Structure 1
Amino acid sequence: MSPLPETVPFFSQWETPDMTMAVLADGAEVALRRDPLWRGSGAETLEEYAVWAANICGMACLKMILASRGEIVPTIELARRCTGYGGYVVNEGSIRGLIYAPFVSFVKEVFGLRAEVMTNVATADIPAILERQRFFIASVSSSIRWPEREPPSKGGHLVLVTATSDKGFRFHNPSGHTSATQANAVLAPADFDRFFGNRGIAVAI
């Protein structure tokens, strides 16, 4: 795999990155109330952070993209602004999203990013996408953190694919549970395919 032209910073969707196992064990709204760094998310209250943080893998990917060009924007601030464009729909405490098309409008208008919703994407298509665009936000099973396991389904969680080769895909996983499964995780294309939901968002900076 060829080296990246620049370092892509990693950010977890939790402010304390090593809280993934606690989130899985206790549930996000319980575990994340113990996150001592929650204020860094841009949330106005601990309650807001605990409710939102499990739903912002896409905002963590966006935060990483923006950070690659020197802009650091808190994840829940991004989520709040994206909601204004329809990227999330909030009803009585439930959160639906990320909704791709409004997200594309949001990042174009607010940050000047060129983004494109992509569906029916074969895993073999991803290298060509990254030849045209800098990043691919891929919909995968959240169990991609355990590549030795078979996922119960494909899609539902977002990771940031930053580089590809015949030998593997390199990506940042906002809910990885170890350093190896968070920043610059690498999976062979056949393994990535087991988790990939065949859709995502290509982003150019």
Structure 2
Amino acid sequence: MVDQGGAARPARVVHEVPYRAQWESAELVRDIVDGQLDAARDPRWGQSGAATPEEYAWWSWRLCGVACLRMALEHWWGVTPTAMALAGECVAAGAYVRDGESLRGLVHAPFAEYVRRRWGLAARAAELTPAEVAAEVTDGRLVMVSVHPSIREPHGPEPVRRGGHLVLAVGATETALLIHNPSGFPGESQAFARVPWRSFGPFYAGRGVVLGPPGAER
């Protein structure tokens, strides 16, 4: 199959990457996102490394990029640092910029530099077409792509804007991109969630972070 940009898409490539949600209790994500459960009441909040449930709740809504990194580290290194340990390192690296109760980030360029320096993975911030995302995945890399969070329901209404949330592209087929969505709903849109190429564009901001295995050139 050839897409509209003239690039061939893979028949099927899927990387067996472990899944991590941005909340410690992946099975409770729908309840938290829908407002039925305060994130501070997540029974596994302590596993995040946060000092209090309130600290965990504040950060948990902002940890999509950290969740993607945790998945990549477990995939390639077999390690899973706590979410708060990685968040603290990202703040120190300038990938998160905190100002009181506001947080800017994940900022892609300093984040990629941090991943290269701290974890020895290939990493680069990039603007990518959907066909280029597919090509990176086909060549053995993972891509953190910036999408609207409503991508958890790709067959719903088109979002009013693009970007604002990070998911990890872990596979590609002729008809769809396969993602691990840190805020996906259990049993529906968390691990290896299928987003049809025809639906992907309205969610996708056209940029992301390409991650490669240790020792890779890119």
Per the normalisation by structure 2, the TM-score is: 0.86
1:190 maps to 198
Q: Does 1:23 align with 2:32?
A: yes
Aligned length: 201
Distance in 2 of aligned mates of 1:71 and 1:37? 19
Partner of 2:12: 2
Q: Secondary structure at the match of 2:154?
A: coil
Deviation at 1:133, TM superposition (A): 5.0
Deviations 1:146-165 (A, max 9, x none): 11111121111000001112
2:170 match: secondary structure: strand
SS of the residue corresponding to residue 95 of structure 2 reads: coil
Once superposed, which parts of structure 1, at least 4 consecutive aligned residues long, lie more than 6 Å away? none
Output the CA distance in 1 between the equivalents of 2:203 and 2:63: 19
Alignment of 1:112-127 (within 5 A): 112-119=120-127, 121-127=128-134
SS state of the match for residue 171, structure 1? Answer: strand
Q: Partners of 2:188 and 2:169 in 1: how far apart?
A: 15
**Identity rate, percent:** 36
- CA drift of 1:23 comes to 2.6
Which one is further off, 59-68 or 183-192? 183-192
SS at match of 2:163: coil
Structure in which a larger fraction of residues adopt helix = 1
Separation of aligned partners in 1, 2:94 and 2:12: 37
SS at match of 1:158: strand
Give 5+ residue unaligned stretches, structure 2: 1-10, 214-218
2:108 maps to what in 1? 100
Query: Which residue, 157, 172, 196 being the options, matches 2:165?
Result: 157
Cα RMSD after superposing both structures:
1.6
Ranges in structure 1 where 5+ consecutive residues have no aligned partner? none
Q: Deviations over 1:26-60 (max 9, x none)?
A: 39xx7111101001111122121111110010000
Match of 2:142 among 123, 135, 140: 135
Q: What secondary structure does 1:116 align onto?
A: strand
Which one is further off, 9-18 or 185-194? 185-194
Displacement of 1:111: 0.4
Residues 171 and 192 in structure 2, CA contact (< 8 A), matched pair in contact too: no
The amino acid across from 1:50 in the alignment is A
